[in-house]
Amino acid sequence: MQNLRRIVAPVALIVLAGLIVWPLRGVFDTFVESRSFASPITWTLSMIWAFDFAWSIVLGALLGAVLRSTSAMMWAAVAGLAYGGLNFALTQHHFSSSLGWNVYAWIYGQYVVSCVGAVIGAWLATSALRSVADTERSAVRESTV
């Protein structure tokens, strides 16, 4: 039963996150594109990076809290890569071929941000839970001595 939990729980979290984030991303993109900025491409992309990083770090933290092991980082990386890959496959870019390399880095970096954020979130959650467990263990040892 424990092995089933280690598979069903992360898959359910990832699917739930996808069902929530995908429509929100569309709303967020519409909001960002309706604004005008002094430097439109980099400002727009930085906001998209921030959105993707925010939701993915939360997903990673939830995976870390549910799984409570380093396998949460693997699940988080898979979820981030799947989202980034799906986003890349479904996004159409219309930009000049004469842009600088830094703009291309901003554009294509958005597909990696979700993976990085999810792994960081999982790492933070598993590290926090591990330190709490270590503190509790040492308190129990001290009380029994």
How is the chain split into domains, by residue range? 2-93+109-144
Helix (H) or strand (E) holding 113: helix 101-144
Q: What value, to the nearest 5°, has the Cα angle with vertex 76 and ends 131 and 128?
A: 10
**Cβ neighbours for 30, distance < 8 A, ≥ 6 positions apart:** none
pTM for this structure?
0.77
Position with higher pLDDT, 135 vs 114: 114
- Would you mind telling me the total number of residues written for the chain in this entry? 145
43-59 confidence digits (pLDDT tens): 778 888 899 999 999 99
pLDDT class of 68 with cuts at 50, 70, 90: confident
